[in-house]
Every structure is written in structure tokens, then in C-alpha cells.
Structure 1
């Protein structure tokens, strides 16, 4: 079932956890579909968050972070890679989608990844588990970039949206850890526990074994 507008009406941390287990769907120009289950997210809390693009206020670049909750914010990093975020209830706050578990269209995802590398022969050994285990990897695999997906309302378009996962187990174990690659924001914000991922899922970009030890697993 496709998520509706009111499904995104929550704060950034709540949304980051809520999105785990949901399915990201991309419809290509030839009407084929790519699907991947969200297994890892990060929260960026807006004006109070020194690691957030909106820390210094609204700009043309970060405008989607101030738009209606459920809006896609796609930005370019290092001048060559894209990252995909979803705005939450608070102005300037958004959830970064860090990793997916590929579900449908894996052959097309492989082609998209292959098209982005120079040494194609060496890259042909890419495994399915490595298709979407990182924010830029999933954007390449799903053909998500600034020109085609930025500022999209994820509830009213035919290019990119989210669905609930059939028969999904809502009692999944969520690991809470610090975010990745934001040391420049300073020790306080670099160490805040604002990254969330599904414990035991092999498609997560990077495990935090210390945080995993704090998980209370169900007893049998």
C-alpha cells in the first residue's frame, strides 16, 4: 500500500525509525519498477543541528527541507554523487535514506551502477548485497538524482514513492548509533545517536557493534 501524506506527519527522529522496513519505489521512463526496502536512515534536525544543511537557514539548495513533510530532497555531494532525503514535520529537518535491501529490478540496478564506472570489466563482479548499501549507491542504482526527483512530493507523483512492506514485522530490532561522515560538525553533533538501522540486515552500510550490544533481543 502506498504511503499517504499523513503518514509523514511526524518529527524527524520518529520518521527515521518509521521508514525502516518501508519500500522505496522508483518507476522509470519505460514503466519498469525498481523497489528496495529501507534498512538504514539518519535524522538531520534542521536549524539546531550543526550537521544539517539547514543549520544556517534556508537556501535555494536546501529548500525541499522546508517544504511539506514527505518531500524529496536530493543533493549532490563531492560534485558527482547524489543523496536522497525526505522532509519531516519540522521546518528544515529531513531523513537521509542510507541503505536499501534491493527487492525488484536488480538487473537494472546493476546496469545503472555499471554505467557509472570506468573499469567496467572489474565492476561486473558487483554483488547484489553491494547495490544499495550506501546513500550514493542507492541513488545510482535507483536512478535518483537532482534533475528528476528533487522537490517531488512522494505522495502525488509517478516517479518516486514509498509503500508499506507486505506482512512486515513491526517488532523489528532497531539499532541506534551515531551518524557517519559528519566529524566536521563537531564532537557534540557527530556523536549524537541519530542513525538507525535494522539489526542483522546485511544490506546496512556500516555496522556499529558497540551500539548493537545495547539491543534487547527477544528471548525464546
Structure 2
């Protein structure tokens, strides 16, 4: 099904004057996002998401959990049936476009568009690597009343939590992650092997698409939002059977 692609929007303003720009050498470019949705959801695992705050502070987190939303007949996708609305425009834009939407009128979730009409990958969890104190303050600022500071592994273990920890809001919607100056992807120093990936069902999905294995995470990582022990057991012996 051929859909109309929209051009990439202008990127947000760069870092404040006097701040050194981050090195772009390890940055993943537009070609990285030119993958089918499921392939991109897996390829994102182990990559490092970087958020540069207005004061120049850089926050880094390793992507450890994703969910694929295929568009088209995928009833759980915001682009289900190919319907294009003002809310989900980013899902129909070029691969690598950020799709940020709000839930419950309070929280945000961040997705990255892929190949495929209306397809995108939800970022579910990060393993915090740099700027943990700033992440913690950003998380606490979103809470009402006194609250215990989240532990390191709790900072980004959920799609809304990671948006809070990285100060991501609707202003990032329709931004190009390949050229965005306030947020980008860097190649992870150590990418997980295929046998380290767990493929399981998505969370909070109902209907016929509830059992589709479209959620992916790194086995044994404490920062994953919800581990599926049954899925882990089903694949844990694959390597042993082949003598590895």
C-alpha cells in the first residue's frame, strides 16, 4: 500500500552558545532506520540514545526493550487501517522520524518510524549510562508531593518513565532522529547477540493482536519493564542444543 510521504521538518535549535557540540562520529545516520519495523525493533536493542539538555548536559541510556507496531492491519497501532490523523502523522513520515504521543493527558511515549506504511517502534526501556542524577531530578519533578527517588534501574524502565527522565515531550514529535541536535542515537559499544534477545507479546494489548510476539528485550537486563519468564525459558536452551 503506497502512502504519501511528508518531508522532514526543521530540527530544533542547537545547543546554547558556548557549549561544545557533541561528536557526531558514532551517531547513527538515516540509513540505520531504513529497516522493516521488526528488524528495526531488534536492531535498536543495545544502541545508545543520547539527549542533550538546553544547558548542554548529555544524558545517555542503552536501549534494552522495544515494541513493534506494524501499521496496516495491526489493530494495536495508532495507524491501524492506514488512517492518518494529526496525531499520528509522524508514523507516515520517513524512517527515523520521532513519533511522540501523550497518554492520560500527562505522560509521553516515544516511537521511531520505520519502513512500512504507518509502522513505528516504541522505545520501552533504557539502561541509564550517563547523567543519572539529572534523570532522577527530572523524574522527581514530575511527581506530586514527597516521593522516594527512583533507583538507578527504575529511572527509565518504562516508556513514560524514559520520556520523563530525558525531558521528552510533544515538541519532539515529527523530529528527525538522524539530524536532531537535541537527541540522537549512537552505536552501542557492545550489541547483544541474537540468542540474548527475548521475543514476546506486547504489553497492554487486547484482541486478536494480543498474542503477537512483537516485543523484544535483552535477556537478564534489570532495566526491562516486564520480563516474560515463560518466553525466556522457551528459548534458553536453544544455544545448548547446538553445542554453544
**TM interval, short-chain normalised:** over 0.9
Residues 117 and 157 (structure 1 numbering): CA distance in 2 closer, same or farther, change over 3 Å? same
TM-score by length of 2: 0.85
**Match 1:86 to one of 108, 112, 117:** 112
* Ranges in structure 2 where 5+ consecutive residues have no aligned partner: 1-25
Offset from partner CA, 1:26-45 (integer Å, 9 cap, x none): 01101110000000000000
- What displacement does 1:160 show? 1.1
Name the residue aligned to 2:12: none
- What displacement does 1:123 show? 2.1
Runs of at least 4 residues off by over 2 Å: 167-172, 216-220
Name the residue aligned to 2:145: 119
**Match 1:54 to one of 79, 85, 94:** 79
Name the residue aligned to 1:211: 231
Matched, 1:29 2:49: no
Whether the 8 Å CA contact 2:45–2:191 is kept in 1: the answer is no
- What displacement does 1:171 show? 4.7
Residues 169 and 193 (structure 1 numbering): CA distance in 2 closer, same or farther, change over 3 Å? closer
Name the residue aligned to 1:20: 45
Name the residue aligned to 2:131: 105
Task: State the distance in 2 between where 1:71 and 1:204 align.
Answer: 24
Offset from partner CA, 1:156-186 (integer Å, 9 cap, x none): 1211111111244545511010000122xx1
Task: State the distance in 1 between where 2:71 and 2:91 align.
Answer: 8
Name the residue aligned to 1:191: 211
Task: State the distance in 1 between where 2:194 and 2:200 align.
Answer: 19
Whether the 8 Å CA contact 1:117–1:123 is kept in 2: the answer is no
- What displacement does 1:130 show? 0.5
> What SS does the corresponding residue of 1:123 show, helix, strand or coil?
coil
Number of aligned positions between the proteins: 214
CA RMSD of aligned residues (A): 1.3
Instruction: Please list, as runs of the form range in 1=range in 2, the aligned pairs for 1:130-141 lying within 5 A after superposition.
Output: 130-141=154-165
Task: State the distance in 2 between where 1:179 and 1:169 align.
Answer: 20
Task: State the distance in 1 between where 2:57 and 2:193 align.
Answer: 29
Name the residue aligned to 1:144: 168
Task: State the distance in 2 between where 1:206 and 1:200 align.
Answer: 11
Name the residue aligned to 2:35: 10
- What displacement does 1:154 show? 0.6
* Ranges in structure 1 where 5+ consecutive residues have no aligned partner: none
Structure index of larger Rg: 2
Name the residue aligned to 1:202: 222
